[in-house]
Every structure is written in C-alpha cells, then in structure tokens.
Chains A and B, each alone.
Chain A
Amino acid sequence: MAVRRKLIKERVPTIERPPEERIHDFKEVNLGYTFELAVKEAERCLQCPANYAPCIKGCPVHINIPGFISKLVEYRDDPDKAVKEALSVIWACNSLPATTGRVCPQEDQCEMNCVMGKVGDKINIGKLERFVADYAREKGIDEELLFEMVPKIEKKGQSVAIIGAGPAGLTAAGELAKLGYDVTIYEALHEPGGVLMYGIPEFRLPKDIVEKEIEKLKKLGVKILTDHIVGKTVTIEELLEEYDAVFIGSGAGTPRLVNAPGVNLNGIYTANEFLTRVNLMKAYLFPEYDTPVKVGKKVVVIGAGNTAMDAARSARRFGAEVTIAYRRGEEDVSAREEEVAHAKEEGIKFVYFVNPAEFIGDENGNVKAVKFEKMMPLEERDARGKRKIKGTGEYVTIEADTVIIAIGKHPNRLIINTPGLEVDKRGKIVVDENLMTSIPGVFAGGDAIRGEATVILAMGDGRRAAKAIHEYLTKKRENQNA
C-alpha cells in the first residue's frame, strides 16, 4: 500500500499543442505525461481497495487501476521497472492500452466515480494508462514482457477464426492466442485495425501506434489475412469447417444517410468515406498518396457524436471554415467533452436545433448549401434521456461546398446475410449471454451486436467472447477426449 499523503486537489496537466499550431497538421494534439509528471499524478490516487474502487467497476474490462497506478509510485526510482510492473497489471485485462488510453470516454467510465472527485479533480486515469503504454513501447518494455509471456503459452490444438481486425476482433484474438489457440483474423481492408485505422484520425490516435499494437498480436502468433471479405471471399459455413469456433467482430460499417433531397450531390460525404479517405488512405498527403479528398472552404458537418468531431476537426486541418449542425441542443451532444472542447478551441462553430431538409446544388451537381428546418426542444425525454424535438416549419440555409454526414452507422451488411444467423430488425446480430449467436460455435461482439458504441465496449466484448469461446472449446476438447 502506498503511504497516505497530503491530498493534491489539482490534476497534473498534460502537455497539449496549442490550437493555432495544431490546426495546420495531423500530428497528435495531446502529448501526454513524462515519467515525472505521471508519478506526480499517480501520487494523487487515494488507492481505493480493489473490491471497492469505483474506477475498476466503471471500466468495461475491469483493469486493476489503483494497482497499475501504485506501481508507478512504488518504483519511482526505476522508471523502466515501474512501467513494466504497471504494464503487466494493465495487460492482464487490456492488450491495447496505448489505444484505450487515448480514445476511451474515461469521464463516463473509470474516472466517473473517482473518489478524488469529491474533494478535487478526478485522477487522470486515461493519460496514465496511455503514459504506461507509450513509455513501454518506446523503451521496448512491452516486447520484453511479450518474450517472457510467449514461451509460457500452452498450445491447445484448436483454432479460432476472427472476422474483422477492429477493437473487438483484435482483443478476442489476443486473449485467445494467450490461451493457446491458433487464431486467424479475416480482415476486409488492406490494413488491420478497423475503426482505429479508418475512423479515428491521426491527431487523436497515431496510426504507427495502432500498427505497433497489432505487431504485438502477431508476436503472440495471431495470423491476419487482409483482403478477405467474409460473406464474399469465404462464408461462415466454410470457416466452421476449417476452425473450431468463429468470432464476428465486423463492426458497424454501414453509414446512415440523411433522408433528404440532394443527398447524392457531389461534395456530400458520409463521415465514413471522408475519414477513410483521410485516415486509412492518407488523402491529407495527396498527391504523395494517391487517394484524393475534396474539402471546400465552407464545411458543414451534420451530427454531434465523436465521429462528427473527428470529421470536423479533420476538415479544419485542410483550412476550412467548419460548422457542426446538430438537430438537438448542446446538452445532448453525444461526443466526449474533450473532443468538443478541442473542436471549439480549433475554431469550429456549433449550430443547434437544425435538421437537414434539403441539400441544394449548383448547375454542375455540386452541393452549395444545406437547407435546415429549425427545431424546438420539448420537455419530454426519449429512452436515451435526450430531449425530444419537433420541427418548427421555419428554415435556415447554411452555405457549404462540402458536407459531411455523421449521424451514425449500422452493422455491416455483408456478414448479416449469412443463412441461419439471427439478426434484429436494425441488423444487429443477436447473441445469448455468452455472446454466442444463433449458429453454434459462432460468437459475436462489438458494434456488430451493439449497433454503434465505443472502442472499449467492443474490446470488452472481445474479452468476454474469448472467455466464452475458451469455455466452449474446453468442453469440446473434453468431449473428444472422453
């Protein structure tokens, strides 16, 4: 146990690049902690016991948060040792900490009920997690831990196919590989990573970090087949002939479109297309990279979730004047606070209570404006706690030469057409309490079952599914041996 110290109420700030500098490039905005700063922040932690700690309860994968934080303080005189100890605590529950440390909504999860919040600032758990992962990667400490781990893995002689190399699939793959299963991931795109590669921008999650997290999985023996579209290249039935179990982590890749006239005008992107061009295909480096993207002078982003913030902030980096248009009010913005704050700092305008009614084009079929209906809030709230809204019959037109639609996504359509695979009316794959689908031996998790959620919830599903698959395959082994 760490020694009780005097309470330090204020958070140790992380280093953030100023907005006027960062809007000119795609480099990371937040630079995180140094070891000294991380230790200072770690010292603020009250070290709640694990059976009580609200942070562990709030974490979808239940990382022993006070446990890893205490290692930083305990071994403060030996940074490498401190980080190695902290990382092994994190790895017991989470194999992608450099990613989650950056993109998790900590304020709604681990940090939400942090006891320190009662007297001062909550502990900056996200940035501490990120620090441990980054320091370990830079110093090769993660490789060291991996080398120690790999020889201890006992091969089970059974194999699992994972569909989709996004957060759910990568997590399930890592856990199953550690348990000794032969794991092969089938990925449709040319790079593994799923939304971490195509969706989340470089300035929030550098792609070389994702690549390195995936390299670690390969060292655990995970095979990745890119360019394989399950449902086209190979079917789930065929996978079941070759593998002992299958996990579907195919995500929610189908963009929702605004149902308004003119939606197919040139210059109207779905957030998925815009972000895929920018992130995965690196269109911000055109013509050094071949894939183009067109960002006009005036960009309107429709929607106010994290994807909308990502799209808006990316567009801003092309020099555009960017407006986020949301049909509800500020209180119902679903993006993380940090993302909204960053967007505002970067000069992005927010317009509330407007719902797109029509996209107006010029004579060449290019968008030039969006006509919005003004909405008004009602007292009543919907199932998600958001205030209901209704149209006023009044309209407002906002000029735009680029429009990005970021109003949500549906599960991928190719996979859900599998015969025998039960899906609900929104296309979400139906699973039981063990995440098993209607096809025995086929499990699913992440956005494929949730519709649209977060990276960490997908990772949580990946872990749960790995555990369920392990139990399923253990039984199968025992039955075969009996």
Chain B
Amino acid sequence: MYRILEKEEIAPKHVKYKIEAPHVARKVQAGQFVIVRAFPNGERIPLTPVMWDREKGWIVLITFVRGKTTLKMANELKPGDALLNVAGPLGNPAPIEKFGRVLTIGLSAGIVEVFPIAKALQEAGNEVTSLHVTPKPMVILKEEFEKAVSRHLVEGFEIKEGWGTKEIVNEIAKRGAERVRKLLSEEHFDFILTVGPAGAQKAVFEVVREFGVPMHADLHPIMVDGTGMCGSCRVTVGGEVKFACIDGPGFDAYKVDWDELIHRVGFYTDMERRALEEYLKSLRGE
C-alpha cells in the first residue's frame, strides 16, 4: 500500500498526487513510468512520476481525468488513503545526452511526462525550449517549467462550445503542428522530443520530418502488466515488433508506424466509455 501524502486538483481534469513509494523514488529516472492499481477490482494503468525525492521516498503523479479509473481516483481518494499498487520504475529512461538546442513538446496532458525529461536535458547542458499545446484552462506546470528550462512556451486555445474530446484533440494536433512549423522555420534545433496523444504526435512528427530534425517520441499504447509479459503495448518500429513497456516507451519517431499505433490505442474505446457510463450511473444512484 502506498500512502497518498497530498492530493490537489491543479487544473480542470488534472489531479496531482504525492505518493509514498520509496522503492520507485530511489531508482526512477526521467522517461520511466509506473503501473498503478487504485481499487480492488481496478485495472493497471501506466502513469509517469513527474517529480520525486529519493531521500524522502515520495513521487508525484499527475492524472488526466478521462476514464473511469482516473475519475474514480479523483472522486474517491483522499490524502491519507493509499494506492493498492505502484509498480516500477518501468521502461527505459529517456535519452539524456548533450544534444545542443532541444525542443520538448507536451501535447495536452503529455506535458506531465515532458517535465522530468526537459529538466534532465537542461541539467545535462542542453538549451531546452519546452512547448505545451493545450486548451487554456489546462495550462499546468508553467512555473515549474519556467524554473527548469531555458524557455517555456504555451500554445493555448479556447475550447469552443459543443467541442468533445475528438475536436479538442484535433485542435491540439493542428495547433501543435502549426506552432512547431513556425519554431522550426525560425530557429535551429538539434533534437526534439514529444509526448501526447498518438494522433497529435503524428501531426507534429509530419512537420518535424520536413525539417529533418531528429525526433524521439514517447508512446502510450495500451498496457496491462508493463513488464514485457503480455504484448498489449506492441508497436512496429523500423519494421520490427517492439514492446513499448520494455523496449520503450520512447522511440525514434521516424521509425514508428503511427497509423498502426493510432488504431491500437483506440481498440477499447467503446468498453472504456461503457465502464465510465456505468460508474457515472452508480454515482447518480441508478
């Protein structure tokens, strides 16, 4: 059991948890993730430690509320409660090398994972520009980024009336691609790293490819165990089948089969919606 030391809603749909998990805190590196199980009948979900204290033994996780598990966590967990399982750290660390001028891009809640990586890249002697593409009310970690990297940019937009998740993600992809095109036209970058929804990452990648800048993409396929056992998270990279949990989660964006990834992440959408609806019904006492 892993105690929740603090919990805070830092923006709409974004909840920050400070968790006692010394086994993870002592080892985790930027780019790695953990698998969390919060409830007895619950699923295992991958989340990324955003900050940590090796001595004090805590990690910070930030969830983006989008399905039953993240909503139930937001609704039901309080400081003093505990997560049932926090397994990790899993996956490989991000490439923290001296590249020169680096652009790190967080698409929507992907910014959460960018934070430790951007910070580590800056500490490794790079000049890091970070970019957060997001609906305006969901600007998060702005001050933290401003302290950690050379320059932090926010590409924010208003959510128009009647927009659902699909329209928002499309807008993130569009805005992200446009802003990256502008940046790359005006400045030189040696290395680019992205985290975010697969469709938006692909849109950004297509722009980056025109400029030929090396790009590393952290991928989020569906996972179950996160330890290389099930193959749910398999992705095609450079024509080979890779498991994102143990071979990734980051890969050379030029080698990723993006369309396949986009199909795979959507496989359970209908069942995820059903689980969420049933939970909402139970909240209403139906």
Contacts and interface: CB of A to CB of B under 8 A. Distances in A.
Contact of A281 (B86, B224, B241, B272): B224
Nearest to B87: A227
Given A266-B267, A281-B224, A413-B246, A190 B260 contact: no
Interface in B54-108: 68-69, 84-90
Contacts of B267: 266-267, 294
Given A190-B37, A272-B230, A232 B89 contact: yes
Interface in A348-366: 364-366
Interface in B204-238: 224-225, 227-232, 234-236
- Which residue of A234, A264, A282 has the most chain B CB atoms within 10 A of its CB atom? A264
Contacts of A281: 43-44, 224
Given A253-B229, A414-B246, A229 B90 contact: yes
Contacts of A255: 229-231
A233 B88 contact: yes
B264 A264 contact: yes
A414 B229 CA distance: 10
Interface string B233-266: 0111000010000100000000001011001100
B42 A290 contact: yes
Contacts of B272: 292
B185 interface: no
B88 A229 contact: yes
A286 interface: yes
Interface residue range, chain A: 35 or more
B198 interface: no
Contacts of A287: 271, 274-275, 278
- Which residue of B86, B241, B246 has the most chain A CB atoms within 10 A of its CB atom? B246
B182 interface: no
Contact of B275 (A253, A270, A286, A412): A286
B23 interface: yes
A257 interface: yes
- Which residue of A188, A228, A277, A364 has the most chain B CB atoms within 10 A of its CB atom? A188
A290 B275 contact: yes
B41 interface: yes
A414 B92 CA distance: 11
Contacts of B188: none
B83 to A, nearest CB: 10
A263 B242 CA distance: 12
B163 interface: no
Interface in B20-72: 23-24, 27, 35, 37, 39, 41-44, 68-69
A288 B41 contact: yes
Contact of B229 (A227, A228, A233, A412): A412
B230 A273 contact: yes
Nearest to B32: A232
Interface residues of B, number: 44
Nearest to B261: A264
A189 B225 contact: yes
A364 B274 contact: no
Given A190-B37, A227-B88, A291 B228 contact: no
A294 B271 contact: yes
A345 B253 CA distance: 49
Contacts of A414: 227-228, 246
A245 B167 CA distance: 57
Contacts of A232: 27, 88-90
B73 to A, nearest CB: 11
Interface in A244-281: 253-255, 257, 263-267, 269-270, 272-273, 276-277, 281
B85 A226 contact: yes
A218 to B, nearest CB: 16
The main secondary structure of chain B at its interface with chain A is mixed
Interface string A325-353: 00000000000000000000000000000
Contacts of B37: 190
- Which residue of B39, B84, B263 has the most chain A CB atoms within 10 A of its CB atom? B263
The main secondary structure of chain A at its interface with chain B is loop
A189 B88 CA distance: 10
B224 A277 contact: yes
A52 interface: no
A233 B27 contact: yes
Contacts of A294: 267-268, 271
Contacts of A190: 37, 44, 84-85, 87
A412 B229 CA distance: 7
B41 to A, nearest CB: 5
Contacts of B274: 287
Given A257-B241, A272-B231, A264 B236 contact: yes
A227 B39 CA distance: 15
Contacts of B278: 287
A361 to B, nearest CB: 9
A210 to B, nearest CB: 17
Nearest to B229: A253
A14 B274 CA distance: 41
A253 B84 CA distance: 23
A294 B268 CA distance: 8
A255 B24 CA distance: 26
B280 to A, nearest CB: 12
- Which residue of B27, B259, B274 has the most chain A CB atoms within 10 A of its CB atom? B27
Contact of B225 (A263, A266, A276): A276
A279 to B, nearest CB: 11
A365 B264 contact: yes
Contact of B232 (A227, A228, A273): A273
B226 to A, nearest CB: 9
B29 to A, nearest CB: 10
B87 to A, nearest CB: 4
19 contacts: A190-B87, A198-B225, A227-B86, A228-B23, A229-B90, A234-B27, A257-B234, A263-B241, A265-B263, A273-B230, A273-B231, A281-B224, A287-B271, A289-B41, A289-B42, A290-B42, A290-B43, A294-B271, A412-B228
Given A226-B85, A254-B229, A365-B264, 20 more contacts: A189-B87, A190-B87, A198-B225, A228-B87, A232-B27, A232-B88, A233-B89, A255-B231, A272-B231, A281-B43, A287-B271, A289-B41, A289-B42, A290-B39, A290-B69, A291-B44, A291-B224, A292-B268, A292-B271, A412-B227
List of 3 A-B pairs having minimum Cβ-Cβ separation, nearest first:
A365-B263, A273-B230, A227-B87
